[in-house]
Amino acid sequence: MALAPLAAVAAVAAHDLLQKRHALLRNFPVIGHGRYLLEAIGPELRQYIVASNDEERPFSRDQRRWVYASSKLQNNYFGFGTDNDLEHGTGNVILHHKTFGRSPASHGHPAQEAWLPCGKVLGGPRGRAAAFRPESVVNISAMSFGSLSGAAIEALNRGAALAGCLHNTGEGAVSPYHRKGGELVFQVGTAYFGCRDEAGRFSLDRLKELVDSAPVRALEIKLSQGAKPGLGGVLPAAKVSAEIAATRGIREGEDCISPPRHTEFSDVDSLLDFAERLADATGLPVGLKSAVGDLGFWRDLADAMQNTGRGLDFITIDGGEGGTGAAPLIFSDAVSLPFRLGFARMYAIFAERGIQDDIVFVGAGKLGLPDNAMIAFALGVDMVNVGREAMLAVGCIQAQKCHTDECPTGVATQNAWLSHGLDPALKSVRVANYLRTLRRDLLKVAEVCGVEHPAMVGPGDAEVLDTLTAGRSLREVYGYQPGWGVPSQSDQDTLVRLMRSHDEAEVAVEGPPETQA
């Protein structure tokens, strides 16, 4: 028995010396395996031992800690000053607080009570039959059942219901896990999952059946996503279970292909025809989701909306920072503009034509952190979608194994053993806590900036620091004209009325502080 370990080592050494795939192992048998072990656990070593609080990407330790603490209603404050390098770093964004603001500091609500409705009525300007005002400016981004486990989708949907948020289905259609109480934005992807016929073509009848059977509040035509714009995708056959096949309307055990482009339209004119067709058939608001690259498309779209009477009710811009979708490195690093630049250029095109107030602008791409979200609002978004941050609230540890089906926390996997460890009931509460806390922090920062709502913070209320001694406002950086980036006066008046009436109702219910038990 004592010789067994030596025999095992000798066997490994013999294998290493005889194999020809790895020169390192032939030259350094046995001990060469240590290099591959360290490489395999490199992300964990950096995450827990090497990286500082503010340097790891895509989400730093501080950012993850804020999400985790918020989801558990723990202390999410940070002591002893900022980790940001304000002395030598460039690109830091600073919000301008006001000593005397018009907003009374009345929002002393805990996270559970933070209420932030959208300033615009989704579908209102175009007279959609089912137009509505979203109750939350923070909503859950598009993540499909298939890319995420059923348990994770259920936790997100239940959390959205608890927090009064919308939950985007992603292009993988509406699964049983999307039907746990949360209201949905149904994404119409290039493969038309959930609304396709037996041949894989778009079916309006199937879409109407789906809308009638699920709590769908809006439809989103997906053109591209920040992680891999224009690339399409494949869900390997091994992952296409009977449940996924039934949800998507495909065959079990076969590769599931998402084409790079739609077949129902091929230019701006036919895109708008398709959008109007969906709206007429369902009565729902219709929008699109896209990353930003070539600006010619956006100019053509804005011109057509301005001149033809057809249009979109909302536009979701996804940043090129990437997201939950796995992609080739060049797509993650170098295809499509990062959110701030892409959104600002797109927004300017619609603002130059004076039609920005008729569209609800939605931002996505690391906007589930309060500072990033506030800059997005200052640039003109009306709502933000959160994806990876919501995954962190569910339990993601940034293992970065989303594309391997080996997610250790059961979030981004179809492995039954791994996903069984995720308790949807418990995690849904954490998702709701995180969403409410984010809303509360946005509300508090808006008050500090002197207004009642984060959408009323404009590009003149924040600046980018070029150095410790010089900075430029967002208005200067992105070339915004006066009035851009903030709601119309009528929408601002509506927001003020909504926010103040809510506060008055809260005071009436609670009574003066001295009378409370």
Lowest mean pLDDT among 144-148, 202-206, 279-283, 401-405: 401-405
Lowest mean pLDDT among 34-38, 336-340, 482-486, 504-508: 504-508
pLDDT higher at 444 or 26 = 444
Q: 184: which residues sit within 8 A by CB, 6+ positions away? A: 166, 167, 168, 169, 174, 178, 214, 215, 216, 217
Cα separation, 60 vs 103, whole angstroms: 33
Write the Ramachandran bin of 60: left for phi over 0, alpha for psi from -120 to 50, otherwise beta. beta
Q: What is the pLDDT of residues 423-462, one digit of tens each?
A: 999 999 999 999 999 999 999 999 999 999 999 999 999 9
pLDDT higher at 172 or 48 = 172
DSSP 3-state assignment of 199?
Answer: coil
Q: What is the pLDDT of residues 282-339, one digit of tens each?
A: 999 999 999 999 999 999 999 999 999 899 999 999 987 766 666 777 777 778 899 9
Say if residue 174's pLDDT is above 70. Answer: yes
Same-domain pairing of 43 and 120: no
Same-domain pairing of 374 and 273: yes
CB of 190 within 8 A of CB of 222? Answer: yes
Phi, psi of 383 (to 5 degrees): -150, 160
Same-domain pairing of 121 and 45: no
Check which CATH number belongs to the domain holding 144 and give it. Answer: 3.20.20.70
Instruction: Count other Cβ atoms within 10 Å, centred on residue 201.
Output: 12
Say if residue 147's pLDDT is above 50. Answer: yes
Instruction: Count other Cβ atoms within 10 Å, centred on residue 401.
Output: 17
Cα separation, 482 vs 500, whole angstroms: 26
Write down the mean pLDDT value for the chain: 88
- Give the pLDDT of residue 516: 38
* Mean pLDDT, residues 396-420 taken together: 85
Q: What is the DSSP letter of 238?
A: G
Query: Does 58 map to a domain?
Result: no
H or E element that contains 374:
helix 370-379
- Give the pLDDT of residue 274: 98
* Mean pLDDT, residues 503-513 taken together: 54
Query: Does 90 map to a domain?
Result: no
pLDDT higher at 141 or 404 = 141
- Give the pLDDT of residue 1: 63
Say if residue 517's pLDDT is above 50. Answer: no
Q: What is the pLDDT of residues 264-284, one digit of tens each?
A: 999 999 999 999 999 999 999
- Give the pLDDT of residue 509: 47
pLDDT higher at 330 or 177 = 177
Same-domain pairing of 124 and 35: no
Cα separation, 104 vs 448, whole angstroms: 10
Query: Does 163 map to a domain?
Result: yes
Same-domain pairing of 268 and 126: yes
- Give the pLDDT of residue 105: 53
Is 181 buried (19+), middle (13-18) or exposed (0-12) by CB count in 10 A? middle
Say if residue 64's pLDDT is above 90. Answer: no
Same-domain pairing of 42 and 182: no
Domain boundary among 36, 53, 70: 53
Say if residue 44's pLDDT is above 90. Answer: no
As given in the structure block, the two tokens for residue 233 are 């995708």
Phi, psi of 167 (to 5 degrees): -125, 115
Cα separation, 252 vs 191, whole angstroms: 16
Query: Does 80 map to a domain?
Result: no
Lowest mean pLDDT among 51-55, 371-375, 505-509: 505-509
Query: Does 95 map to a domain?
Result: no
Q: What is the DSSP letter of 481?
A: P
CA proximity to 138, closest of 378, 342, 364, 346: 364
pLDDT higher at 434 or 85 = 434
* Mean pLDDT, residues 486-494 taken together: 93
Say if residue 106's pLDDT is above 60. Answer: no
Residue range of the domain that includes 256 = 116-486
Query: Does 91 map to a domain?
Result: no
Say if residue 22's pLDDT is above 90. Answer: no
Cα separation, 383 vs 404, whole angstroms: 32
Domain tally, the chain: 2
Say if residue 510's pLDDT is above 90. Answer: no
Query: Does 278 map to a domain?
Result: yes
* Mean pLDDT, residues 37-59 taken together: 70
Query: Does 193 map to a domain?
Result: yes
